[in-house]
């Protein structure tokens, strides 16, 4: 089979590799599409290697068709050869085939294309984890979801809205704000006009402080905005794209009982990920079926156009997910 390898000059090369080995607890999937994540760019640079046991090439989420199943996979799931599935993987989705632990495989939600389904596992599971498990988001609360034009926000904002939360997000310019109107966030912070801490402060002064933050930016703004959260609020840091340091006032954490949480999906066990996937299916697949939530796809390209796809992410051109077709 073939997979997309990185050569010594960091060029991407569609290369022959060994076929995946079928083990008892694995499902082998013929890959149809892979959705891109910023982690792919880091892995290409050698900064985000696949965890032990996964292929060394890129790709964290995919859709495809089951072509083989191990004995334990058959005994512990309702899947069968020929089923259309999507999956959360530790690496290796830029390829024609992959062996996946059965715990990390989901059926393609009714009503979605294979391209749309490829964009579910990483983005929607990450959103579910950090909004509901780590952030304890409740119906009627106000949540801040950073970087509203990101692929992650394109999943998290509709999920929070469908759940019954009020959503605040942030973008850099008015032009970008216009591009995310379809996500229906309740308030969009345009950072060329007002800062994130200013909005947090105003919301608190108006008697509607923000309850939960899912933050991929962090940096200086995080420390300033944290003080204005609601009593018992949760600030969940999932990345540090805006900076790895921040000055934090400890007194509000003490007096308001605030929770500052660091969270990564990548370092969770397969058992933890299985639970998250099942909970996502239970709580949100109905919204895919009825059209309330639809994965936001910016562009679909062929695997041969992988350089163009990576360039879209590098230059922040996309609003929503970029997907590569393989099968």
Name the CA radius of gyration of the chain, rounded: 20
Phi, psi of 285 (to 5 degrees): -65, -30
∠60-64-68 over CA atoms, to 5°?
Answer: 105
In this predicted structure, what is the pLDDT of residue 128? 98
Do both 239 and 188 map to the same domain? yes
**Of the residues 262, 288, 308, the one at which a domain ends:** 262
∠282-285-288 over CA atoms, to 5°?
Answer: 165
In this predicted structure, what is the pLDDT of residue 317? 87
Is it the case that residue 233 has pLDDT exceeding 90? yes
* CATH number for the domain that contains residue 107: 3.90.180.10
CB-count exposure of residue 82 (10 Å: 0-12, 13-18, 19+): exposed
Point out the least confidently predicted range of 26-30, 103-107, 312-316.
312-316
Do both 298 and 209 map to the same domain? no
Q: Are 299 and 317 in contact (CB under 8 A)?
A: no
**1-34 residue pLDDT tens:** 999 999 999 999 999 999 999 999 999 999 999 9
Helix (H) or strand (E) holding 294: none
What is the mean predicted confidence (pLDDT) over 261-281? 95
Do both 247 and 280 map to the same domain? no
Average pLDDT of every residue of the chain: 96
Do both 218 and 270 map to the same domain? no
Do both 112 and 140 map to the same domain? no
In this predicted structure, what is the pLDDT of residue 316? 87
**Of the residues 262, 281, 300, the one at which a domain ends:** 262
Reference 296, options 179, 151, 188; nearest CA is 151
Reference 19, options 96, 118, 110, 117; nearest CA is 96
Number of domain units in the chain: 2
Do both 209 and 304 map to the same domain? no
Beta strands in the chain (DSSP E): 2-6, 12-16, 26-35, 61-69, 84-88, 97-101, 105-107, 142-145, 166-171, 187-190, 212-215, 234-237, 259-262, 297-302, 321-325
| CA 163/CA 127 separation, integer angstroms | 12
Q: Residue 141 sits in which domain range?
A: 124-262
Do both 257 and 128 map to the same domain? yes
In this predicted structure, what is the pLDDT of residue 308? 98
**115-161 residue pLDDT tens:** 999 999 999 999 999 999 999 999 999 999 999 999 899 999 999 99
Instruction: For residue 253, name the pLDDT band (cuts at 50, 70, 90).
Output: very high
- For the chain, helix (H) and strand (E) counts, in that order, are 11, 15
Is 175 strand, coil or helix? helix
Burial 241-275 (b: 16+ CB within 10 A, else e): ebeeebeeeeebbeebebbebebebeeeebeebbe
In this predicted structure, what is the pLDDT of residue 72? 98
Do both 24 and 107 map to the same domain? yes
Do both 82 and 131 map to the same domain? no
Tokens of 17: 């590799």
325 bridge partner residues: 33, 302
14 bridge partner residues: 4
Do both 243 and 277 map to the same domain? no
**278-304 residue pLDDT tens:** 999 999 999 999 999 999 999 999 999
Q: Are 293 and 159 in contact (CB under 8 A)?
A: yes
CA neighbours closer than 13 Å in the CB half-sphere of residue 6: 20
212 bridge partner residues: 143, 234
**Of the residues 262, 283, 317, the one at which a domain ends:** 262
Instruction: For residue 231, name the pLDDT band (cuts at 50, 70, 90).
Output: very high
Do both 290 and 253 map to the same domain? no
In this predicted structure, what is the pLDDT of residue 116? 97
Instruction: For residue 79, name the pLDDT band (cuts at 50, 70, 90).
Output: very high
pTM score above 0.85: yes
| DSSP secondary structure code for residue 253 in this structure | H
Do both 138 and 252 map to the same domain? yes
* CATH number for the domain that contains residue 188: 3.40.50.720
């Amino acid at each position: 089979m073939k997979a997309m390898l990185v050569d010594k000059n960091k060029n991407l090369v569609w290369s022959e590799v060994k076929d995946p080995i079928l083990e008892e607890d694995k499902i082998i999937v013929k890959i149809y599409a892979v959705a891109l994540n910023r982690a792919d760019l880091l892995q290409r640079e050698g900064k985000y290697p696949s965890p032990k046991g996964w292929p060394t090439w890129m790709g964290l989420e995919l859709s495809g068709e089951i072509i083989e199943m191990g004995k334990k996979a058959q005994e512990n799931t309702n899947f069968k050869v020929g089923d259309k599935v999507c999956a959360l993987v530790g690496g290796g989705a830029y390829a024609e085939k992959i062996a996946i632990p059965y715990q990390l495989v989901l059926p393609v939600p009714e009503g979605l294309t294979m391209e749309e389904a490829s964009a579910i596992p990483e983005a929607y599971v990450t959103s579910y984890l950090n909004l509901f498990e780590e952030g304890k988001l409740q119906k009627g609360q106000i949540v801040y979801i950073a970087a509203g034009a990101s692929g992650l926000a394109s999943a998290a904002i509709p999920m929070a809205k469908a759940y019954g939360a009020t959503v605040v997000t942030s973008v850099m310019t008015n032009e970008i704000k216009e591009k995310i109107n379809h996500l229906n966030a309740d308030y969009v912070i345009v950072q060329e006009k007002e800062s994130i801490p200013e909005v947090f402060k105003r919301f608190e002064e108006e008697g509607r402080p923000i309850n939960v933050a899912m933050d991929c930016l962090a940096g200086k703004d995080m420390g300033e905005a944290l003080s204005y959260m609601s009593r018992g609020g949760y600030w969940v840091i999932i990345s540090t794209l805006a900076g790895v340091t921040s000055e934090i006032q400890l007194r509000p954490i003490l007096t308001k009982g605030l929770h500052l949480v660091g969270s990564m999906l990548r370092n969770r066990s397969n058992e933890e990920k299985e639970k998250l996937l099942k909970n996502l299916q239970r709580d949100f697949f109905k919204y895919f079926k009825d059209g309330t939530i639809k994965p936001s796809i910016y562009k679909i390209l062929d695997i041969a156009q992988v350089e163009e796809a990576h360039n879209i992410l590098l230059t922040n051109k996309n609003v929503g997910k970029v997907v590569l077709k393989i099968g």
